[in-house]
């Protein structure tokens, strides 16, 4: 199994695009979201991060099989 650097670059580009959508389209909502995240307990942020990683792995597995 080898790494296709073009696919990795495309994945990074899509990540950056998706991360920039909310701050670009609705900066006030992004500020509220970041403030809420800053107030959230570390355990809750870890749980959200873990759920996000699992969902991403499942999606990648489903798409790339």
Residue 13 is predicted with a pLDDT of 96
Q: Tell which residue, 4, 42, 37, has the closest CA to residue 22.
A: 37
Q: How many domains does the chain have?
A: 1
Q: What is the rounded CA–CA span in Å between residue 39 and residue 20?
A: 22
For 21, the token pair is: 């959508």
For the stretch 33-47, pLDDT in tens is 999 999 999 999 999
Confidence of residue 54 (pLDDT cuts 50, 70, 90): very high
Q: What is the rounded CA–CA span in Å between residue 56 and residue 46?
A: 15
Average the pLDDT over 19-39 and give the result.
96
Share in percent of the chain as helix, strand, coil (round to 5): 90, 0, 10
Q: Which domain holds residue 22?
A: 5-64
């Amino acid at each position: 199994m080898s790494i296709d650097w073009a696919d990795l670059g495309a994945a990074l580009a899509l990540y950056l695009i998706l991360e920039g959508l909310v701050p670009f389209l609705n900066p006030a909502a992004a500020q509220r979201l970041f403030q809420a995240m800053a107030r959230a307990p570390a355990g809750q942020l870890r749980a959200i991060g873990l759920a996000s990683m699992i969902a991403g792995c499942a999606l990648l597995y489903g798409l790339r099989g």
